[in-house]
Structure 1
Amino acid sequence: MVRVAILGASGYGGSELIRILGRHPEVELVGFSSRAYAGRPLSAAWPQIDLSTPFAEVEEAVAEAELVFVALPNGIAMELAPRLIAEGRRVVDLSGDFRLPPEVYEAWYGIRHAHPDVYPRARYGLTELFRDDLQGAELVANPGCYVTAASLALAPLTAEGLDEVVTIAAMSGVSGAGRDAGGTAFAEVNENLRPYKPAGSHRHTAEIEFNLGRVRAQGRRVRTHGPAEPRPLSFTPHLVPMTRGILTTAYVTPARPLRQAELDELYRVFYAGERFVRLTEDLPQTKGVYGANTVWIRPHLDERTGQVVVFAAIDNLVKGASGQAVQNMNVVYGFDEGLGLETHGLWP
């Protein structure tokens, strides 16, 4: 049994970690931290969770832990992770602190990186693309939610050098902004649909570009997170009036003409054996992945224009955050990759 602590357990990502890890056969939950709920029972933040363990300060929460999930705002994990690693613990970080080279992180996040020396020790945890880097890792950088859907949607095309021009429109439920985020009051989001941080200004743009750059450099059997030139693209997110889920639509001008059958085969071969990637003839829907660690992907050829349109759906709190974090933990420890994780969404 791996003794696990969750820092930031009163946030949405933290609650999903508690739910998923609570049924994991190889995990013992030994500590939970929350700045807002310290000293109070878990039910104070999550009445649906039947655990009497109280929220604690960080030191107490990690005292017995071998692995620590850090589900805290950007800028905090970079301070905590080096100390936790020095104490012999493994860390899975759900923030953006170790996803990008420090100079790129500083440019996109506007935060000076406290420990750029630790970044080379981090392993990037988009499991389906960079799995071979993860086994035995001491620090895993869990990908962004938009990044996961977009990168998996485009990787097969990018690996073949077929993504000449890429434009991404992605729509997310309000939980992606976090539990304490402003601007997500019911009156603001209900019956409303709006874009934000358009055309390359969202910080996840850089992460998508780096991922696709590595895929382009390594080809179809990508499994490591080596250096590469970022792959430029246009990305615009949208906020939709639902709690959770991301639907990504990527418009690709291919480098050469494609047929639908060739497109389907390309994706089938690239994702052969991936249990959490579902290639479907139906168009992806967020309810199909609600609560699951699965991504639904459908590449579609617009025969009139020759453009490829790729649709992808994930649950932003599961495959886009906590579920993928557990998937990464499973690889780190050499467990079956699917332990504790659902492949079936909840409907309705």
Structure 2
Amino acid sequence: MVRVAILGASGYGGSELLRLLGAHPEVELVGFSSRAYAGRPLSAAWPHIDADTPFSEVEEAVAEAELVFMALPNGVSMELSPRLLEEGRRVIDLSGDFRLPPELFERWYGIEHRSPGLYQRARYGLVELFREDLVGAELVANPGCYVTAASLALAPLVAAGLDGEISISAMSGVSGAGRDAGGTAFAEVNENLKPYKPAGEHRHTAEIEYNLARVRAQGRRLRTHGQAVERELLFTPHLVPMTRGILVTSFVTPAKPVSQAELARIFAEFYSGEPFVRLTEELPQTKGTYGSNTVWISHRRDERTGRLVIFAAIDNLVKGASGQAVHNMNVVYGFPETMGLQAHGIWP
């Protein structure tokens, strides 16, 4: 049994960690914290959980933990992680603090990186691309939600040398903004669809570019901090009036002509044996991933233009956050990868 603590357990990511880890047969949950709910019972933050166990302060929450999940705002993990690692604990960080090289992080997040030396010790937690790198890792950087869907949709094309110009249109439910985010009041989002942070403004642009650059340079099985061949892409996110889910549509001008049959072969070979990747001819829908750690990918070749259209859907709180974090834990500790994770979504 791995003794686990969750920091930031009153947020949406923390809630999903409580749900998934509470049912994991190899986990003992020994502590959970919340700055907003410290000292109050778990049910105060999550009325659907009938538990009077109080939220702890950070020190008490991690006192007995071997592994700490950080479901905290950007900029916090970089301050807490050095001490936790020095004490011999492992950390899986759901924030953006260790996803990018420190200079890229500072440029895109507007925050000074206060633990730049830790980046080289971090491993990027997108299992389908970085599995070998994660075994035994002490610090795991959990990918962003948009990034997970977009990177998995495009990696097979990039590894095959087929990517040319890339444009991504992505839509997310409002839970992606976090529990305390402004601008997500019912009256603002209901029956409303709007783009935000377009034209290279969204910080996930850099993370998608960086992931694909590493795949482009070294193929699927690569070191996290290896050479990168960068190529810019266009990423436009949209906010849609639903609670959770992400749908990414990527438009690719291929570097050379490719048939629909060849496209299918490339994706099938790249994701052969991956338990959480669903490849189908049917077009993805977010409801098909609700509550699961699955990414649903489909692809089309536009016969008129020769361009490729790649679709991917995930649950932003599971495959895009907490489910992926549990998947990372399973790989780090050598557990079966599907342990404690839902293979199917919830409908309706």
SS at 1:129's partner residue?
helix
Question: What residue number does 2:221 align with?
Answer: 222
Corresponding residue of 1:33: 33
Q: CA deviation at 1:232?
A: 1.2
Residue-by-residue CA offset, 1:245-284 (whole Å, 9 max, x unaligned): 0000000000111111110010000000001000011000
Match runs of 1:318-333 below 5 Å = 318-333=318-333
Match of 2:290 in 1: 290
Seq. identity, %:
78
Q: Give, as a single letter, the amino acid of the residue that structure 2 aligns with 1:224.
A: R
Contact 1:214–1:227, Cα closer than 8 Å, also in 2:
yes
- Which amino acid in 2 is paired with 1:312? A
Cα displacement (A) at 1:131 = 0.8
The match for 1:161 is 161
For the residues of structure 2 that align with 1:283 and 1:50, how far apart are their CA atoms?
38
What SS class does the counterpart of residue 267 from structure 2 fall into?
helix
SS at the partner of 2:182? coil
1:1-348 equivalent positions in 2, closer than 5 A: 1-219=1-219, 221-225=220-224, 226-348=226-348
**Structure 1 stretch displaced more, 249-258 or 42-51:** 42-51
Alignment partners' CA distance in 2, 1:48 and 1:330: 27
RMSD: 0.8
Partners in 2 of 1:259 and 1:293 — Cα distance? 30
Asked whether the equivalents of residues 153 and 310 of structure 2 are also in contact (C-alpha less than 8 Å), the reply is yes
Q: Which secondary structure does the structure 2 equivalent of 1:254 belong to?
A: coil
Q: TM-score, normalised by structure 1?
A: 0.99
For 1:207, the aligned partner's letter is E
SS in 2 for 1:31: strand
- SS of residue in 2 equivalent to 1:59: helix
* Matching residue's letter, 1:102: P
AA in 2 matched with 1:197: K
Please report how far the alpha carbon of residue 26 of structure 1 lies from its aligned counterpart in structure 2 after TM superposition: 0.1
> Whole-Å Cα distance in 1 between the matches of residues 114 and 45 of structure 2?
30
Separation in structure 2 between the aligned mates of residue 50 and residue 206 of structure 1, nearest angstrom? 41
Aligned mates of 2:3, 2:115 — CA distance in 1? 26
Q: Deviations over 1:227-246 (max 9, x none)?
A: 31323100010000000000
Q: What SS class does the counterpart of residue 242 from structure 1 fall into?
A: coil
Q: Kindly tell me the number of residue pairs found equivalent between the two proteins.
A: 347
Contact 1:172 1:246 in 2 (8 A): yes
Offset at residue 343 of structure 1 (A): 1.5
- Structure 2 stretches of 5 or more lacking a match? none
Is 199-208 or 8-17 further displaced after alignment? 199-208
TM-score (normalised: structure 2): 0.99
Whether the aligned pair in 2 keeps the contact of 1:211 and 1:230 (CA below 8 Å) is no
- CA drift of 1:47 comes to 1.1
